[in-house]
Amino acid sequence: KQEVTQIPAALSVPEGENLVLNCSFTDSAIYNLQWFRQDPGKGLTSLLLIQSSQREQTSGRLNASLDKSSGRSTLYIAASQPGDSATYLCAYKPANTGNQFYFGTGTSLTVIP
């Protein structure tokens, strides 16, 4: 059974701090992993997509890493800002279950000005 665990469930940090969000998943054979941002009551905004052959991806202040052998991904946010406050979702696509993503329950981030 595919499971995605995200730790911590909630995080509150002062503005300017660097932070790491963790995601673990149950399959070592995957197609890819995608990080999303979800604002309250809103849709899912794609942040980064990491393919199975990649170790990391970067976009601006965001860096996501992938370690398939240990079933882990991390999302690093540099110099956090109040506008980063949202829920961050990790989703992965196992290699043997077709074309669907499995989602974690997310990390709720609050950046305090």
Partner 1 sequence: EPEVTQTPSHQVTQMGQEVILRCVPISNHLYFYWYRQILGQKVEFLVSFYNNEISEKSEIFDDQFSVERPDGSNFTLKIRSTKLEDSAMYFCASSPTGVGDGYTFGSGTRLTVV
Query: 110 CB contacts (<8 Å, ≥6 apart)?
Result: 10, 11, 12, 13, 85
Question: Among residues 68 and 93, whose Cβ is nearest to partner 1?
Answer: 93
Question: Among residues 52 and 74, whose Cβ is nearest to partner 1?
Answer: 52
Q: How many Å separate Cα 14 from the centre of its chain?
A: 20
Provide the 10 A C-beta neighbour count for residue 45.
Answer: 12
Residues that bind partner 1 (CB under 8 A): 4, 31-32, 34, 36, 41-46, 49, 51, 89, 91, 93, 98-105
| Least Cβ distance, residue 23 to partner 1 (angstroms) | 13
Amino acid occupying residue 49? L
| Least Cβ distance, residue 26 to partner 1 (angstroms) | 14
| Least Cβ distance, residue 19 to partner 1 (angstroms) | 22
Q: How many Å separate Cα 81 from the centre of its chain?
A: 17
Question: Among residues 18 and 110, whose Cβ is nearest to partner 1?
Answer: 110
